[in-house]
Amino acid sequence: MAFEYVHPTEWKDAHRLLATEGSVAMMGGCDVLTKYRSGRLSKDLVVDLKHLSGLSEFEVSNLGANIGAATTLMKLATNSAFASYWPTISTVASRIASPAIRASATIVGNIAQNWSVSDLVPLLEVCDAELVVRGLTGDRRISMKDYGVAHSNSTLEKGEIISALLIGMPEPERHTVYERFTFKSGFDLPLVSIAISAIVRIGICSEVRVAVVGAHDMPIRSVSIESALEGRAIDKDSIDAAVLAMSDWSSPTTDFRASSQYRRYLLTVVLRKALIRFSAF
Amino acid sequence: MSKSTKFEIELNVDGEVIEVSIRSHHLLVDVLRNECGRVCVKEGCESASCGACTVLIDGTPRLSCITLAVDAVGTDICTVESLSAPAGPLHPLQASFIENHAIQCGFCTPGMLLSASALLQAKSNPTADEIKEAICGNICRCTGYVRIIQSIAAAAKAIHRSSP
């Protein structure tokens, strides 16, 4: 099956084209063109958005990072100013997939494909990142924690286009760790992963955020694990409490990669590892 | 829709400007192989997973199976044929792959060589971990990776030795 390919430079044209039946948005092409190649693309109009004004902007200021939707993973991972404020995100972005894919794939495309597993989404959730979404009536913001509803189902409305990702400047003494489990060390999606971010003052954690991949259908914040750690030092007791909270809260699925029981056990192991790393702060 | 818009485009492949007639949905891997005569560009998985179709676009490794040919207009595309001239000496990477027996069926070799070439352009003396990272998207299913990694490290040393 063939498709028509257009690359609008005007926003109004992009909105109009995406409102057309059978259209699909494309940024880096990793998702859309892979589907096409394998015969799974059911659309006949591919709308390439990366030429729209503003989408290639990438700025780090004292307000935070404004990452245009066309910013590739490679560009993000090689920006030293970004790495100085968000070293964990930078490191993780530099290890996603392969160099050839990172040169094409965009960070927003990575989010927008809305997969049940992701390395970046849990990290962006604990960094309180927001998506800027442009519709026909103007811009609105969606918190990363509210974006994914279910696999391939987001809070994005018909015709809306993600224009940027915003990450606010981290508070002083906020630290973040990310721990993942994969079957192979390179070029693999995580089976489970955990991002933890908290402010640590005199050894005590506050404003704790924990996001988990593999515990439920989508990457999701865990209020119960966050509560187990809030106001406490990371020590044996708090780690045990967090692991217990994980066991109660997680409800993993069974699929071709692993059983629910295996994932649930793995989540406790990975959480313990992440917290032990976090205790160094 | 059975056919999409037809374009007449020019692609700069290995320093040669080639005029081709394509449709908007045509992928670069097919155009390079079928229209530009670059059958050295392989396609293994059709799912952006194996790296056999790797080419360099403006010096950066890219997967030609997820790149539209129309999107490659105005760029410098390098296939493995750009590494050495037919009558000239082999590129140190090619020579090292032969010397270290890093080729068996050879299907992954063009992609491996181009990923390695981009690495050596960026880092003249890469560590084993950096080599592994550079070729992590290139899958080999017969030679094994040990000799490939050894070959890239040896080529880096050879290039370093021959540099003035």
Structure tokens at A123: 């990290």
Backbone angles phi, psi at B161, to 5 degrees: -65, -35
Q: Enumerate the residues of chain B whose CB falls inside 8 A of the CB of residue A100.
A: 51, 54, 60-63, 115, 137
Q: What is the pLDDT of residue B4?
A: 84
**Distance (Å, whole) CA B147 – CA A17:** 50
Q: Class of B6-82 per CATH?
A: alpha beta
Q: Do B5 and A103 touch (CB under 8 A)?
A: no
CB-nearest partner of A38 from B47, B61, B70: B47
User: Is the separation of the CB atoms in A196 and A208 below 8 Å?
Assistant: yes
Q: Do A29 and B3 touch (CB under 8 A)?
A: no
Using alpha carbons, select from A115, A117, A142, A140 the residue that is nearest to residue A129. Answer: A142
Q: What is the tens place of the pLDDT at every residue in A25-76?
A: 999 999 999 999 888 888 899 999 999 999 999 999 999 999 999 999 999 9
Q: Do B63 and A44 touch (CB under 8 A)?
A: no
Q: Enumerate the residues of chain A whose CB falls inside 8 A of the CB of residue B27.
A: 33, 37
Mean pLDDT, residues B104-114 taken together: 97
Q: Do B138 and A98 touch (CB under 8 A)?
A: yes
Structure tokens at A180: 């993942």
- Tell me which residues of chain B, numbers 81 to 110, contact chain A at a CB-CB cutoff of 8 Å: none
Mean pLDDT, residues B18-27 taken together: 95
CB-nearest partner of A186 from B24, B115, B136: B136
Per-residue pLDDT band for A159 (boundaries 50, 70, 90) equals confident
User: Is the separation of the CB atoms in A64 and A169 below 8 Å?
Assistant: yes
Per-residue pLDDT band for B5 (boundaries 50, 70, 90) equals confident
Structure tokens at B139: 């899958």
**Distance (Å, whole) CA A81 – CA A58:** 11
Residue A152 has pLDDT above 80, yes or no: no
Q: Do A30 and B48 touch (CB under 8 A)?
A: yes
Residue A106 is classified by DSSP as B
3-state DSSP call for residue A71?
A: coil
Which residue ranges make up each domain of chain B?
A: 6-82, 92-162
Residue count of chain A, please give it: 281
Q: What is the tens place of the pLDDT at every residue in A93-103?
A: 999 999 999 99
Per-residue pLDDT band for B47 (boundaries 50, 70, 90) equals confident
Residue A106 has pLDDT above 60, yes or no: yes
A211's CB contacts (< 8 A; 6+ apart) are A121, A122, A123, A125, A126, A145, A194, A195, A219, A220, A221, A222
Cα Rg of chain A, angstroms = 19
A92 interfacial to chain B (CB closer than 8 Å): no
All domains in chain A, ordered by first residue: 4-48 (3.30.43), 58-168 (3.30.465.10), 174-278 (3.30.390.50)
Assigned CATH for B92-162 = 1.10.150.120
Q: Regarding beta strands A138-143 and A161-168, do their DSSP bridges make them parallel or antiparallel, or are they unpaired?
A: unpaired
> Quick one: A230 exposed, middle or buried, by C-beta within 10 A (0-12, 13-18, 19+)?
middle
Q: Do B66 and A48 touch (CB under 8 A)?
A: no
Residue B1 has pLDDT above 70, yes or no: no
Q: Regarding beta strands B54-57 and B76-78, do their DSSP bridges make them parallel or antiparallel, or are they unpaired?
A: antiparallel
In A7-68, which ranges are continuous DSSP H helix?
Answer: 11-18, 30-37
Q: What is the pLDDT of residue A116?
A: 84
Q: Do B66 and A46 touch (CB under 8 A)?
A: no
Q: Nearest C-alpha of chain A: how many angstroms from B75?
A: 14
User: Is the separation of the CB atoms in B10 and B31 below 8 Å?
Assistant: no
ipTM of the complex: 0.92
What b-and-e string marks burial along A174-203, b requiring 16 or more CB atoms within 10 Å of the CB? Answer: bbbbbbbbeeeeebebbbbbbbbbbbbeee
Q: Do B25 and A3 touch (CB under 8 A)?
A: yes
**Distance (Å, whole) CA A26 – CA B67:** 12
Residue A257 has pLDDT above 50, yes or no: yes
CB-nearest partner of B137 from A3, A5, A100: A100
Q: What is the tens place of the pLDDT at every residue in A200-226?
A: 999 999 999 999 999 999 999 999 999
Q: What is the tens place of the pLDDT at every residue in A233-246?
A: 999 999 999 999 99
